[in-house]
Structure 1
Amino acid sequence: MSEAARHPGAFRQEPRDPLAAASGSGLVVRDRPLLVLLSGGGDSVCLLDVAVRLGARVSALHVNYGLRADAAEDERFCRDLCARLGVPLIVERVTLPATGNLQAEARRVRYELAERYAEGDYAAAHTATDQAETVLFRLATQPGSRALAGMQPRRGRLVRPLLRVTRAEVRAYLRERGLAWREDASNADRRFARNRVRHDVLSALRELNPEVERAIAESARQVAEERAFVEQAARDPALGVAEGTAVVRDQLERLAPALQRHVLAALARRAAGHEVPIGTADTAAILALARGPGSRELHLPGGVRAIAEYGTIRFARGAGATPPPPLELPLPGAVQFGRFRVAARFARCEGPASVAEPALARDRLPATLTVRVWRPGDRIRPLGLGGTKTLQDVFTDAKVPRALRAELPVVEAAGEIAWVAGVCVSERFAARPGEPAVVLSARLARGDGDSAEGQ
């Protein structure tokens, strides 16, 4: 007897209709802008139709990589579909490098373009089936609970409104609505590991439980919630490492093993700028390192070192890293600045100024901004201060670690500092509510693979 048969009420409350799932997700909001990533495949066609029906201010982005013989037909299909639905469509034709992981690169380009063009959030059409495939793939290749947490409904401005319905339910919706879609023949190519998971592993598991996608997706949701709880506990100010760069071994050893791992992973992530897997054996090795005399190091994957100095544990990247050179940031646009991805998008200022994602007045900015590192003597006019202040004092007041000061993006407009990422925004450039604005963001580059193939 299948798991679903033994527990007939296990998924009774789960939505079976994509429209209801998207509505219940809270990720598609009437009259708010939403950019749909439209490949022409069934899942993205469903998402586009659902977003229109729910009254969002929908636009679409189709990226033509030119990799398949029928790529032009896919583009034509998307143009026709958007014309019928009255949805503005952006088409980008890109050429990917001939070497490397094409799917990963295509994903990176797609999300980068979405960040550039989206006025608000942008939506990918990942389903519960994609979630199950992602979790199974990660389970086989990435140890740790993070692999089991799967894709999240929201990551920054990327949203996934269909994550609680299966691919089969999406197809049923399309047939009921009389909507056509394009099939990507490469999804059946078993040379790709993800496709073997899709067609072999997941098919075999369906014989054990026809509701296997929902079972895996529900498990992923619970793991994600539990990870969030532990991570919040690891940020408890009482631990003394909430925003710090080091932890005392004696303090760490008083914590439960799960908290030990999360504290170390958080410190390693801050140092590296990307996720660093810290397992049980790594935790034990780092603690053993800190019990020894003097200063000792342990090299971890990703070019990160755990450093123990007289009972204190900290992490560092490879020695001798040079600051990134200044870069020009077009409006709108994005640049990779060291470990940070700095982006600018057009929007309308909707509220008070934020140092995390400030809205700067468009009419006070030049056509391009400059992104650079802090220099001695730099000054800014902080919002609400009524005068200028050195960045040295701003960093000290905000308790910004010295190691981080040397790499934080500083955004300059016509020779004047407009924003220090996550720390301070200039009063001179801050937009007022209702004004046309340029919204800036600076996010650490991620290496989490939080994605699924296909749509």
Structure 2
Amino acid sequence: MDIENKLHELRIFIRKYDLFSAEEKIFLAISGGVDSVVMGRLMVELGQPFGVVHCNFKLRGEASDGDEAFVKQMANEWKVQFFSTSFDTKAFAEENGQSIQMAARELRYGYFSTISQQQGNAKIATAHHVNDALETILLNLTHGTGFRGLSGITPARDHFVRPMLAFTGEEIREIAGALALNWREDASNAKDDYERNKLRHRVVPVLEELNPSLGATLKDTLARLWATDAAVKGELEVWQAHHVVEKEGYTEVTLKGAGEHSTFYVYEYLKAKTSLAYKPFKQLQASIEEGTSGKLFFTDTHQINLDRGRLIISRAGGDEGDEPILIEANDKEIIFQLGKLSCERLAMPVAIDKSQNLALLDADCLQFPLELRRWREGDSFVPLGMSGQKKISDFMIDAKIPVNLKSRVYVLLSGGEVVWVVGKRIDDRCKITSSTSRVYKLSVC
């Protein structure tokens, strides 16, 4: 095998997908297996600055420790930085109700991301190759997928890069033989305990019988899929610019006039932002088509409210804000969940500012310390311009505040009475009048 030719192919691939520059220090995720060992050696041949990261999952006893020692020795021979960590993967999987493979993946990528951050957002290179991409596509098809799932493993995602997608698994083993490399064999790869192994051992050989040039075909197909994926991402960004607005603490997606391909755009956006699975998305889509309003959908991290032709997306609520924050008379600034609350005493006259994020209150009607907290059932006040009490819950309905944003509504209390629904309306009893001599100004930013 002509190693120089393979190095040339690798350089072209790295440049084509803009994975990293020749001077940029990257970190290689090396397990000790043939794919990652070849990746390390090729980076040495390229003269690429790099360090090595390794995970010991403690799944194979002494063999796992042997892998770690082997990789550390290689890093020493290459004279590069070496980082490693170990996990009790089985315990983590049991605690989180995950398969061993999913648990190992979460632990691995979490550790790699930590190293990336510690090293100035350095890129982490994994040794995925063309056959891995094929297995991913087959798995996605088996379990159900959309367009993105058909792209398999892409050359770059966030701070992860995959330069070995330039080669098939067979090519990598040929390179290892030509360079007389040693590597560690994971005995579990020979078993059919995992879905990937079943595909690798039973399905892929059949595909290779049908197409003896499967590797070359896959390279061409993946390149076309990645190009299409990039084009679709561009279209999605254009759609987002017209229909998605980031607001203070939440995101609003306008559904009206979203176009004939809106179902695709909305799903791709929600999946990326909230990890919404396709099954609940179909339920959401049915509600959109039925014209339903006020319905909530949840993911582990977000809640999505279908509200009058739009989606209101916010982080899943927590307990922050339930306990009152006391504001003393001499306090100038308070930090709370919605941002910063600035406090200031002024003498009359004061120019009236009707901004919702600002409250001008008659200082003489206030009793310190004031209390700032999230609204509660039963809270009421006299909205500015009215003469009677109104429950905060009814006020929010009239103000058309979406269901999933109601938990973000705060109130300011004086002597146990609400004097300001923060960012919405002050209490009429504390408004500035002709007899006001001192003003207490509050603003949220």
TM-score by length of 1: 0.61
Shift of 1:96: 1.9
Is 2:302–2:313's contact at 8 Å kept on the other side of the alignment?
yes
Shift of 1:203: 1.2
Post-superposition Cα deviations, 1:410-433, rounded to whole Å, max 9, x if no partner, equal: xxxxxxxxxxxxxxxxxxxxxxxx
Give the alignment of 1:57-96 within 5 angstroms: 57-69=49-61, 70-96=63-89
The SS at the match of 2:84 is strand
Shift of 1:315: 4.8
How has the CA–CA distance of structure 1 residues 297 and 18 changed in structure 2, closer, same or farther, with 3 Å as cutoff? farther
1:19 aligns with 2:17: no
The amino acid across from 2:89 in the alignment is L
How has the CA–CA distance of structure 1 residues 110 and 146 changed in structure 2, closer, same or farther, with 3 Å as cutoff? same
Shift of 1:134: 0.9
CA distance in 1, matches of 2:37, 2:313: 45
Q: Which one of the candidate residues 160, 185, 188 is aligned to 1:186?
A: 188
Is 1:38–1:45's contact at 8 Å kept on the other side of the alignment?
yes
Is 1:303–1:318's contact at 8 Å kept on the other side of the alignment?
yes
Post-superposition Cα deviations, 1:186-240, rounded to whole Å, max 9, x if no partner, equal: 1121121111011111111111112334434543443343343234323326973
CA distance in 2, matches of 1:186, 1:303: 34
Please say which of residues 36-45 and 117-126 is displaced more in the overlay. Answer: 117-126
The SS at the match of 1:178 is coil
How has the CA–CA distance of structure 1 residues 32 and 129 changed in structure 2, closer, same or farther, with 3 Å as cutoff? same
The amino acid across from 1:179 in the alignment is L
Shift of 1:283: 7.5
- Higher normalized helix content (fraction of residues): 2
Q: CA RMSD in A?
A: 3.7
The amino acid across from 2:341 in the alignment is G
State the percentage of identical aligned residues: 24
Shift of 1:71: 1.4
1:11 counterpart residue number: none
Q: Which one of the candidate residues 246, 262, 266 is aligned to 2:265?
A: 262
Instruction: Specify every segment of 5 or more residues in structure 1 that has no aligned partner in the other structure, as ranges.
Output: 1-14, 326-371, 380-391, 394-400, 407-455
Please say which of residues 79-88 and 133-142 is displaced more in the overlay. Answer: 79-88
Name which one, 1 or 2, has greater alpha-carbon Rg: 2
The amino acid across from 1:266 in the alignment is Y
Is 1:35–1:58's contact at 8 Å kept on the other side of the alignment?
yes
Is 2:239–2:265's contact at 8 Å kept on the other side of the alignment?
no
Is 2:125–2:161's contact at 8 Å kept on the other side of the alignment?
yes
CA distance in 2, matches of 1:52, 1:152: 24
1:376 counterpart residue number: 340
1:44 counterpart residue number: 36
Q: Which one of the candidate residues 191, 194, 197 is aligned to 1:195?
A: 197
Q: Which one of the candidate residues 141, 145, 148 is aligned to 2:147?
A: 145
The amino acid across from 2:47 in the alignment is G
Please say which of residues 101-110 and 301-310 is displaced more in the overlay. Answer: 301-310
How has the CA–CA distance of structure 1 residues 102 and 268 changed in structure 2, closer, same or farther, with 3 Å as cutoff? closer
CA distance in 1, matches of 2:90, 2:77: 34
Is 1:144–1:277's contact at 8 Å kept on the other side of the alignment?
no
Structure with larger RCO (C-alpha < 8 A, sep 6+): 1
1:226 counterpart residue number: 228
Q: Which one of the candidate residues 97, 100, 103 is aligned to 2:101?
A: 103
Give the alignment of 1:289-300 within 5 angstroms: 289-290=290-291, 295-297=293-295, 299=297
Shift of 1:250: 4.0
Is 1:122–1:157's contact at 8 Å kept on the other side of the alignment?
yes
Post-superposition Cα deviations, 1:165-194, rounded to whole Å, max 9, x if no partner, equal: 101100101111111111111112112111
TM-score by length of 2: 0.62
Shift of 1:91: 2.5
The SS at the match of 2:311 is strand
1:288 counterpart residue number: 289
How has the CA–CA distance of structure 1 residues 61 and 288 changed in structure 2, closer, same or farther, with 3 Å as cutoff? same
1:158 aligns with 2:150: no
Post-superposition Cα deviations, 1:266-296, rounded to whole Å, max 9, x if no partner, equal: 14643x2x25437995675244222x5xx25
CA distance in 1, matches of 2:102, 2:174: 29
The SS at the match of 2:340 is coil
CA distance in 2, matches of 1:101, 1:376: 43
1:204 counterpart residue number: 206
How has the CA–CA distance of structure 1 residues 23 and 282 changed in structure 2, closer, same or farther, with 3 Å as cutoff? farther
How has the CA–CA distance of structure 1 residues 250 and 163 changed in structure 2, closer, same or farther, with 3 Å as cutoff? same
Post-superposition Cα deviations, 1:84-110, rounded to whole Å, max 9, x if no partner, equal: 222232232222243232222222222
Give the alignment of 1:437-448 within 5 angstroms: none
How has the CA–CA distance of structure 1 residues 201 and 248 changed in structure 2, closer, same or farther, with 3 Å as cutoff? same
CA distance in 2, matches of 1:286, 1:205: 42
The SS at the match of 2:257 is helix
The SS at the match of 1:377 is strand
CA distance in 2, matches of 1:48, 1:238: 40
Instruction: Specify every segment of 5 or more residues in structure 2 that has no aligned partner in the other structure, as ranges.
Output: 323-335, 344-356, 359-401, 409-445
